[in-house]
Amino acid sequence: MRIAIASDHAAFDLKTELAEWLMSEGHEVADLGPETADRVDYPDYGYKLAEVIAEGVAERGIALCGSGIGISIAVNRNPALRCALVSEPLSAALCREHNNANAIAMGARLTGIDMAKACVTAFLTTEFAGGRHGPRVEKLSQFPQDAG
């Protein structure tokens, strides 16, 4: 599977370790940066990750920052993306099964490497259930015409 991964400076070490692990597991990994742990702005990397997935260059994405919150918001600005903030394998599996998530976000200050690997494994191995979830997921990419 082709996986894109991006982070900010706070998650640089986690990103590097996950990218190396994913490659050792046989995945093709697009490391979108940053290349060092120097301070950067997470929205820039979240937007880049979203663009790569929306264009079909990568099938799935992993977005990382200190808490996972900021970068997940940035990724979800793209209507083609469904990025779920996860902290354990059950939420990572459910975001695929029920929401057809094409990206996950995690916080490096909150999630250790072993838990991050477990989340990524659940995310990559769980299929979308479809069925009753299909029409709901379709609505996620549409802006509601009448919020009233």
Task: Could you list the residues known to form a binding site for D-ribulose 5-phosphate, using ranges.
Answer: 8-9, 66-70, 99, 109, 132, 136
Task: Say which of 27, 83, 95, 98 is annotated catalytic.
Answer: 98
Task: Say which of 27, 65, 83, 133 is annotated catalytic.
Answer: 65
What Å distances lie between residue 110 and 10, 23, 88, 104, CA to CA? 11, 24, 11, 14
Binding site per annotation, positions: 8-9, 66-70, 99, 109, 132, 136
Measured CA to CA, the distance from residue 122 to residue 137 in angstroms comes to: 19
Residue whose C-alpha is closest to residue 103's, from 59, 43, 44: 59
Q: Does 27 participate in catalysis according to the annotation?
A: no
Dihedral of CA atoms 70, 76, 82, 83 in degrees, nearest 10, equals -10
The catalytic residues are: 65, 98
